[in-house]
Chains A and B, each alone.
Chain A
Amino acid sequence: MATINVSRNYTMREKFYLPAIFQGLRITLKRFIQGFVFHKKYTIMYPEEKREYSQRFRGMHFISLDENNIENCTACLLCETVCPSECIHIVADERDPAQNPYGVRKEKRPLSFDIDAIRCCFCGFCEESCPKDAIKLSRNYELSVLSRGEAIYNLDHLKRKVIGRG
């Protein structure tokens, strides 16, 4: 492991000013021809053409459903506890035993489940901590809303039947 000293002085070529300018112009021209003649593209036409993200992408949350279209969440409050930005608010309730086909597997249910998407920092800790695979982050990253109130999503909005990450 050596030490390199990168300090340097003017060379004769640099003093003449023009060679370096032409060298720079050559690089720029090369890029111009690549783009203009050979159509090498580095950008995408965003609203028409969407960027494809990986399966691990952490976008907007959803709550997964089982085969009877009932949410997997059992209101254990683990995600609310671990959330660093305190954006999940859950009110737990007991599932009516008469209409509960799951028995002890789903005794509790969330009465309300709100996520404040403006507070959320999309760290994915809620998904990591969920013991029922209920709360997940989808690949939806287009979250713009017209008012702050609309960005607080409730249970009905979050419940989705999704394969993979959407």
Chain B
Amino acid sequence: MEQSEFVQRQAIATARIHDKYSEDRQLIMDAMNEPILWSTSATDAFNLMKQLQSDELLNFDYLTDITAYDNVDGQDGPKRFVVVYQLFSTKTQTRLRIKLAIDPMETPESLTPLWPGANWLEREVYDMFGVKFKGHPNLRRILMDERFTGFPLRKEYPLKQREQFPDNVPLHLGSHPLAKEERSDEKYLHDFYNPNVLLNIGPAHPAMHGTLRIMCRLNGETIEDAACEIGYLHRGMEKLGENKTYHQWIVYTDRMNYCSALNNNIAYCMTVENLMGISITERCMWVRMILMELSRIIDHIICVAINALDMGAMTVFWLMYYWREEAYTMIESLCGMRLTTTATRVGGMAYDLPEDFIPRLKKFVKEFPSCLVEIHGLLTGNRIWIDRTKNVGKLSKEDALKFSITGPCLRASGIDLDLRRDRPYYAYHQVKFDVVVGSHGDVFERYLVRMEEMRQSVRIIEQCIQRLPGGPIWVDDPRVRIPEKIDVYTKMEVLIHHFKIFMEGINVPPGELYNAVEGPNGELGFYILSKGGPKAWRMRVKAPSFMLFQSFEHSVVGDKIPDAIANLGSLNIIAGELDR
């Protein structure tokens, strides 16, 4: 699919929005020419989205993100907060951003009747800004502790203020955990014959991939109800994004999805570049594509290997981790670190590829598929594996759309959506690869989709190696170009420029942008609102794990406890990205 094609589709959609929905609403364009529609009131926003969802031409059936930003400086009208809704159409692959200005006392209507996936997103907005949503089923804090005071992403909240709590929130099932009458379940906890035993898994359980906590109500061994508790790894990434310069924040992107840090680096730098209107050099583009696919392979290796390990298949883990080590060694020779890469800079890369990188990569892509064949031999036809994974953790097509899940899990549910093909960035429209889908959306198909996607990534890397052009890796733009060291030591003007870049940071023009790439786990998006200067006004990360873990609450119901572990492993939730 050509790059111009989706630009055309976006233009058609924008014209339709302009004709039909912008009579009394303001329609503006962002830095990438995507439409932003200002809704007039809190009820208007809900009705507008209901209309857009059922509009047969636009068909905005997918809620990408809900976030907000603080309008304390009054640039967007007199009201204090602006709630931002990101809509996406799976039919036409177009985006629309709807904005709603509200006062702290106003309550916009909850979107949970339209998209149940809005549940956690609205809770996060409430947690961070204190915006209450009318009709929300369970409006509690999500990333912060229940006992936390203040709203961290409001501008008046100090960066380094923190609160400590000595203990965890007690066991509960979705409702308010501090209410005393709810906790009467607790006395049944040790009663063997009680059909409503509450069980706590995590946050420090070895199968809980990081710091995830699930609380479930069991009948025998069947999970009848589950609630997830997150935020144990919350480090305030978004608050830091508003207080660090664009250059400094590259480091923080490593620590989100640490299994594929390169992908985060690239996605973030791409967003800032698009916001500044920089088009990177041809070589940089292809190098970044290689690195993105390499990190996709690493991430899928981790997911498949750990998923098998959780279910007792140790061999798969050893066989696949050898290739992960190989890939990490290559990445280390590129940027000096295995896991926390910090490989990209705005406008280029920290280093060009080392000399032995391409020969090693060629060896990798030649030999790695044999590992996939071996894993297929060990798992795919194995009846134990099939029985453990088939029809476990099922997410139907409709559920997948309702919960806005992305990536391999969405494709395993049978929805043919891949941003690399549908909204191509860099040179993905010039390489040939197949989009892999499943049809049932169970653990087995997620595994098969990931296995096949690794093969497709190898295919993309092969084409990238063939077409990798020479030339400079850095864009020749004095706003972002970090000068060569040898010039800094010898030339006065370059030294002054060097000081200006590092002391002041990169000056990004005012504007806003939502830019997403197809990360290994799904759509990884960055929403940056800049009001000029070296720091962002609002730095929002749309993390795929967040929506995946929300769907887990629902897909796990009806399964056994060991199935829950298999299900969780197949979703590949990375706690660093989930809690940010």
Residues of A at the B interface (CB closer than 8 Å) are 1-8, 10-11, 13-15, 17, 19-21, 23-24, 27-28, 31, 42, 53-54, 56-58, 76, 78, 81-82, 84-85, 121-125, 128-129, 131-133, 137
Contacts and interface: CB of A to CB of B under 8 A. Distances in A.
Contacts of B244: 84
Contacts of B386: 10, 14
A28 B435 CA distance: 32
B180 interface: no
A6 B434 CA distance: 12
Given A15-B383, A123-B340, A78 B452 contact: no
B434 A2 contact: yes
A54 B482 CA distance: 23
B354 interface: yes
A81 B249 CA distance: 13
B435 A21 contact: no
Given A8-B448, A24-B377, A131-B498, A1 B333 contact: no
B351 to A, nearest CB: 6
B426 to A, nearest CB: 15
B449 A6 contact: yes
A123 B251 contact: yes
B336 A54 contact: yes
Interface in B198-230: none
Contacts of A57: 332, 336-337
A3 B452 CA distance: 11
A81 B502 contact: yes
B340 A78 contact: no
A57 B232 CA distance: 31
B266 to A, nearest CB: 16
B340 A121 contact: yes
Contact of A3 (B416, B485, B498): B416
Contacts of B381: 11, 13-14, 19-20, 23
A28 to B, nearest CB: 6
Interface residues of B, number: 55
Given A20-B383, A78-B503, 14 more contacts: A4-B452, A5-B438, A8-B448, A14-B381, A24-B315, A57-B336, A81-B502, A84-B248, A123-B250, A123-B342, A124-B336, A124-B342, A128-B350, A129-B498
Nearest to A23: B377
22 contacts: A1-B1, A1-B433, A1-B435, A2-B435, A7-B438, A14-B382, A14-B386, A20-B382, A23-B378, A24-B378, A24-B382, A27-B374, A54-B333, A56-B354, A57-B336, A57-B337, A82-B248, A82-B502, A84-B244, A121-B340, A124-B342, A131-B488
Contacts of A85: 251
Contact of A56 (B1, B334, B438): B334
B378 A27 contact: yes
Interface string B183-196: 00000000000000
Nearest to B322: A42
A161 to B, nearest CB: 19
A128 B482 contact: yes
B251 A6 contact: no
B165 interface: no
Interface in B232-253: 244, 247-252
Interface string B308-329: 0000000100010010000000
A1 B418 CA distance: 11
B296 interface: no
Contacts of A128: 350, 482
Nearest to B446: A6
A36 B249 CA distance: 48
Contacts of B333: 54, 56
A76 B421 CA distance: 48
Contacts of B251: 84-85, 121, 123, 125
A6 B502 contact: no
B436 interface: yes
B547 to A, nearest CB: 22
A4 B436 contact: yes
A31 B314 CA distance: 13
B475 interface: no
